[in-house]
Amino acid sequence: MIPVRDGLGRLAAAAGRVALLVLLAVVLLSVVLSPDSNWTVRGLLAAFVALAVVHPPAAALITFALLGFGTILAHMAGVPTLRVTELLIIGSLFGCAVRALSTRGAYRDAITDRISAPVVLFALAAITSTAVWLQVMQVELMYPSEFVALLFRFLSRNYFIQPDDFWLVVSGAVILEGLALYVVVAALCRVDPTFFERGLRMLTLGSAVLAVTSAVRLAEIYLANPGAIEALRGTPNGLRISPQIPDFIAAGSYFGLCWVATLGLAIADRRRGIAWVIAGVPLIVALYLTGSRSVIAAALAGLVVLVLMLIRQKAAAARSLVAFGVFAVVVMVIGYPWWTGRDLSGVMARQSLHVRAELIKTGLRVIETRPLFGVGIDRFHLLAGSRASPDLHALFPARKNPHNDFLRFASELGLIGLALFLWILTAAARVTWRALREGDDARLAGLVGGIIVFLVTSMVSNPLMVREVSYVFWIALGLAVGRSTVLQLAPVECVAASAAGASARRLAWSSWPVGLVIGGVLVATVPLRARQELAETNLSRVSYGLYEWGHDPDGTRSRWSRPEFTLYVDGRARLVEIPLSGIALRSNAVRQVEIRVDGRLVDRVPVGSEWRIVRMPLPGGPRTESWRLDFVVSPPWVPAQEIEGSEDRRILGVKVGELKAILPPDPQR
């Protein structure tokens, strides 16, 4: 039995790798096939994907450096709506997936060893949540077959450029891409011992160059109008600048993480220490220009953590550089009101705290509606408006995001999703803390301090909702875990541990029922959760298989149907009246309309050229779920074949008037 089980496990793993590779290939091909793309983009993409396959670390390093430059690169390529950063991420992941197919190289074992239970389950939580709302979207839009075709067209042509109605899929994919980055980056640290340092350098240098754009934007404003700086200070938002990442706190999270990481690099590399301090200067400026109190406080928290981790290191460089960092933060705090025009502890600060407290209360009310599985990815704001207090509406009339990533996961992916996210963080913290306790790697200490900065800001904002910034977090976490794992392995053991890791992980999965139970619950409840959401969705305006409204000569509103069409009726209705008519066919055949309610045949009615009102009682009593009415018309007809001079080649059914649902009387009236 054991060989059979192992064989099935290997087969399932191989099938999963191939399926992932096909999906990534289809999505990448969407850029090639999209009519909005151009040959410059196609050629550069082909070169980058080839590099990712031949040398995955090189492609990853390029991606790290360009994380914040997606908008600039998209405009340079002539496709402003192209999500370049995500395209680079997918290209890098594709290269690693191709290399993982081979059993000869180190990539398969290294990647498999990093695929832990919480990572898989958190990914599954995002996938199942997306699946639930795709089912709801399908019911709201069109027939299943048409919806599947539209979804495939989106994935194969429009994913990176024109998502249109499928932003839900993009939001879910960002979570999956982040988790994949975490796994792959940690694996690359195992495959290439130099990758950690090179990756950290590219991440911080890329952010430093991006930070320069904030200083350049400030200079442009001043040169265009010297009085504009003072005018901006006097506005309610104060002086806040972040040209490439519009979310100020998210931008501050990015810059804060990378700035503290540069301090670690400066401490570790005494010869180039001054160079890394200089590289951190634009990061300090950009962080300050975001005008975020929470980011400055988080930077101080990250420095405190860095000091605690390096406290036993006696080097003067460590003390002086940390002192420099603390001095920079103190200067930012003291100069904050003068520079930004915003107070630190006055009315504006108290109002900001009050808004966040109200958002937490609103978030808890949202969680109450779907405590286990959440309300769906990127759907918090849709429910928060109706559950917010009058104070919150008055103080914060804008779109109500949770302003707390932990609250966001709890509300959108449920308490299960929050628990899985915390599980990932806890597992990463355990591995990293062990490495820090047993070693003295200042680069790792600086990176961990930067991650602390990010997590602190995540408690008062949503940096993980911003694609480019979320990638930064998962890359940093992957670098920290990958480096920590390598530090805890003896050089002789690295290869053997990498080879044995996959089999040990498979054994752990086969003997550990908790993960299988959670995964089974997430998957098995998808139909139930979809039905629950549909039951609370008003589908009375939803219809399929009907063309646009028009008017008869007498002014009656009507629309032609296809041979099959569907209408939804309010679940409270007891009776529905449906006007139907057609034209006399040349064959004199009698047109029949078959009517089904929730899939059950209830009537067949003939329809001629005159209007006929079909009155149909609905079975049972009132309910919350909408009634579904399906119609099949036979024989169908083509206007060009039945009407002299017509060139209309549509295949039609009958003409449908305005439906009338008869509701029971309101007992409160």
pLDDT at 92 over 80: yes
* 184 within some domain: no
Cβ–Cβ < 8 Å for 568, 543: yes
Q: State residue 336 phi and psi, 5-degree precision.
A: -55, -50
Percent of the chain whose predicted confidence (pLDDT) is above 90 = 61
Task: Give the rounded distance of the alpha carbon of 71 from its chain centre.
Answer: 18
Mean pLDDT of 291-305: 87
- The whole-number pLDDT of residue 496 equals 46
Q: Tell me: the pLDDT tens digits for 204-260?
A: 999 999 999 999 999 999 999 988 888 888 887 888 999 999 899 999 999 999 999
Q: State residue 239 phi and psi, 5-degree precision.
A: -85, 110
Of the residues 425, 460, 488, the one at which a domain ends = 488
| Number of helices followed by number of strands (H, E) in the chain | 26, 10
Find out whether the peptide bond into 635 is cis, omega within 30 degrees of 0: yes
What CA–CA distance (Å, rounded) separates 281 from 208?
8
Q: Is the same domain home to 571 and 621?
A: yes
Model confidence at 529, in pLDDT bands (50, 70, 90)? Answer: very high
Q: Is the same domain home to 511 and 620?
A: no
Rounded to the nearest 10 degrees, what angle do helices 117-141 and 513-524 cross at?
10
Q: Is the same domain home to 49 and 149?
A: yes
* 162 within some domain: yes
Between the ranges 455-459, 624-628, 643-647, where is the mean pLDDT highest?
455-459
Domain count, the chain: 3
Q: Tell me: the pLDDT tens digits for 267-293?
A: 888 888 889 999 999 999 999 899 888
Gyration radius of the chain over CA positions: 29
Rounded to the nearest 10 degrees, what angle do helices 405-412 and 347-369 cross at?
20
Helices (H), 311-441: 316-340, 347-369, 380-387, 390-395, 405-412, 414-438
Q: Tell me: the pLDDT tens digits for 479-521?
A: 999 999 998 874 444 444 444 444 444 444 444 578 889 999 9
CATH classification of the domain holding 657: 2.60.120
Q: Is the same domain home to 461 and 598?
A: no
Q: Is the same domain home to 525 and 577?
A: no
* 570 within some domain: yes
What CA–CA distance (Å, rounded) separates 323 from 643?
87
Q: Is the same domain home to 294 and 172?
A: no
Phi-psi region for residue 439, left (φ > 0), alpha (ψ -120 to 50) or beta?
beta
Q: Is the same domain home to 312 and 403?
A: yes
| Residue whose entry in the numeric block shows the structure tokens 């890394």 | 276
* 186 within some domain: no
Q: Is the same domain home to 148 and 204?
A: no
* 147 within some domain: yes
| Residue whose entry in the numeric block shows the structure tokens 């000869």 | 104
Model confidence at 385, in pLDDT bands (50, 70, 90)? Answer: confident
- The whole-number pLDDT of residue 6 equals 60
Q: Tell me: the pLDDT tens digits for 101-151?
A: 887 778 988 898 888 889 999 999 999 999 999 999 999 998 999 999 999
* 309 within some domain: yes
Model confidence at 3, in pLDDT bands (50, 70, 90)? Answer: low
What CA–CA distance (Å, rounded) separates 597 from 177?
42
* 187 within some domain: no
Residue 70 structural domain: 2-179+501-534
* 667 within some domain: no
Question: Letter for the amino acid at 325?
Answer: G
- The whole-number pLDDT of residue 235 equals 83
Q: Is the same domain home to 484 and 631?
A: no
Exposure string for 240-249, b = 16+ CB within 10 A, e = fewer: bbbbbbebbb
Q: Is the same domain home to 472 and 509?
A: no
Neighbours of 446 (CB within 10 A): 34
Mean pLDDT of 82-94: 97
Q: Is the same domain home to 561 and 524?
A: no
